[in-house]
């Protein structure tokens, strides 16, 4: 029986190392935590080897033509040196791959570009009439070369259908976490971020962020543990004394440390978790009374009042 998801990483000439190794390591950790994932590294050219922009040799690459992707698959297109994607012959010389990429998009696979990898998507026509982003140095250039795309200059991550794009080198890590949350949920993704000690570089300009991943931009393990407990037990009433006992602190010290570390109170954080969970359940058609119970609230009216607080 195969894995639930296949994750492919394209390795173009002079690939930006962090673009590929950052996301790849996150999915490796996801496998270690039990996610049913298979990973593959694809050659952009005929050779099964490629030299990165730093001179590191990457080998054991598999020809892209050996695979047909489906809706439960995703492929990451990393950034690479500009002398390739700005070449006037780039589209013609790589027409076979570009056609293959269009086919995978039509099959419903998630296409994820990192940094200047957006140029490959643009050359394939996948950014036509789509919102997207890329490295800040190339925002004007890609917009002028591909006027049909709708470049968003102030965004770390952009999703439009099954097309994903991210701003620059390290944002590939953020994009991988974003996609991982869609696949496996926020609690699982938080565990992966914590495992690799990632500072959550999220901005308010990205409307698709989850509160489960916000307020985690710290390395205070005791507060991470409290946040995990709250996220995993929304339907259960847990008081501050019980929380404090679980991390061997006094309630008073926990209250102070949580506010100092996250910038908000435990109560406010719990409300935010409940609001997001409620909105997810309501959007999927769940009844208000059932949603209230799932979120640890006593009544539908209490849920309505909580949702009013957000607006």
Confidence of residue 213 (pLDDT cuts 50, 70, 90): low
**91 shares its domain with 148:** yes
Confidence of residue 209 (pLDDT cuts 50, 70, 90): very low
- Rounded to whole angstroms, the Cα distance separating 4 from 72 reads 7
**228 shares its domain with 180:** no
**176 shares its domain with 290:** no
- Rounded to whole angstroms, the Cα distance separating 160 from 166 reads 12
Name which of 4-13, 202-211, 270-279 the model is least confident about.
202-211
- The residues that bridge with 10 in the sheet, in sequence order, are 42
Q: Mean pLDDT throughout 112-133? A: 96
Q: Is residue 198 part of a domain?
A: no
**263 shares its domain with 306:** yes
What tokens appear for 274 in the block? 């409940």
**121 shares its domain with 234:** no
pLDDT, residue 205, reads 39
**170 shares its domain with 23:** yes
- Rounded to whole angstroms, the Cα distance separating 49 from 40 reads 14
Range of the domain at 180: 5-184
What tokens appear for 45 in the block? 């050219």
Q: Which pTM does this prediction carry?
A: 0.71
DSSP alpha helices (H): ranges in the chain? 17-32, 82-85, 90-93, 95-106, 118-123, 139-145, 171-184, 186-195, 221-232, 240-246, 251-262, 266-283, 288-294, 300-310
Tell me if 120 sits within 8 A of 78, measured CB to CB: no
Instruction: Assign residue 254 the CATH number of its domain.
Output: 1.10.10.60
**62 shares its domain with 123:** yes
Degrees to nearest 5, angle at CA 73 with 71 and 75? 125
> Which of 210, 207, 173 has its CA nearest to residue 193?
173
Total domains in the fold of the chain = 2
**127 shares its domain with 222:** no
**173 shares its domain with 281:** no
- Rounded to whole angstroms, the Cα distance separating 180 from 190 reads 10
What tokens appear for 172 in the block? 């590939």
Domain boundary among 159, 184, 209: 184
**43 shares its domain with 163:** yes
User: Going by DSSP bridges, is the β-strand pair 50-51/57-58 parallel, antiparallel, or unpaired?
Assistant: antiparallel
181-207 pLDDT, tens digit per residue, is: 899 988 888 889 888 877 554 433 343
Q: Mean pLDDT throughout 268-296? A: 89
Most confident by average pLDDT, 183-192, 229-238, 259-268: 259-268
DSSP reduced 3-state for 218: coil
What tokens appear for 301 in the block? 């009216």
**175 shares its domain with 224:** no
Q: Is residue 200 part of a domain?
A: no
Domain boundary among 167, 184, 201: 184
**142 shares its domain with 23:** yes
Instruction: Assign residue 58 the CATH number of its domain.
Output: 3.40.50.880
83-104 pLDDT, tens digit per residue, is: 989 999 999 999 999 999 999 9
């Amino acid at each position: 029986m195969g894995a639930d998801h296949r994750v492919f990483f394209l390795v173009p000439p002079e690939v930006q190392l962090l673009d590929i190794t950052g996301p790849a390591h996150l999915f490796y950790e996801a496998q270690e935590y039990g996610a049913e994932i298979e990973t593959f590294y694809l050659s952009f050219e005929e050779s099964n080897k490629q030299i990165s922009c730093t001179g590191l040799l990457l080998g054991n690459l598999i020809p892209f033509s050996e695979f047909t992707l489906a809706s439960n698959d995703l492929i990451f297109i990393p950034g690479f040196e500009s002398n390739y994607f700005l070449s006037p012959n780039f589209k013609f010389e790589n027409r076979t791959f570009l056609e293959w990429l269009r086919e995978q998009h039509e099959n419903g696979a998630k296409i994820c570009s990192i940094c200047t990898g957006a140029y490959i998507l643009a050359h394939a026509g996948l950014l036509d009439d789509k919102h997207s982003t890329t490295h800040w140095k190339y925002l004007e250039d890609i917009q002028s070369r591909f006027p049909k795309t709708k470049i968003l200059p102030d965004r770390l991550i952009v999703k439009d259908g099954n097309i994903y794009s991210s701003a620059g080198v390290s944002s590939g890590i953020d994009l991988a976490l974003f996609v991982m949350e869609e696949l496996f949920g926020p609690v699982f993704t938080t565990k992966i971020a914590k495992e690799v000690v990632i500072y959550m570089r999220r901005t308010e300009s990205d409307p698709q962020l989850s509160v489960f991943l916000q307020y985690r931009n710290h390395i205070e393990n005791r507060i991470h543990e409290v946040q995990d407990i709250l996220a995993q037990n929304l339907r259960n009433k847990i008081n501050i004394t019980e929380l404090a006992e679980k991390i061997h602190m006094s309630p008073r010290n926990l209250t102070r440390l949580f506010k100092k570390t996250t910038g908000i109170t435990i109560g406010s954080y719990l409300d935010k978790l409940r609001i997001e969970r409620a909105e997810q359940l309501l959007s999927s058609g769940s009844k208000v009374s059932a949603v209230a119970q799932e979120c640890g609230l006593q009544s539908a009216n209490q849920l309505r009042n909580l949702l009013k607080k957000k607006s």
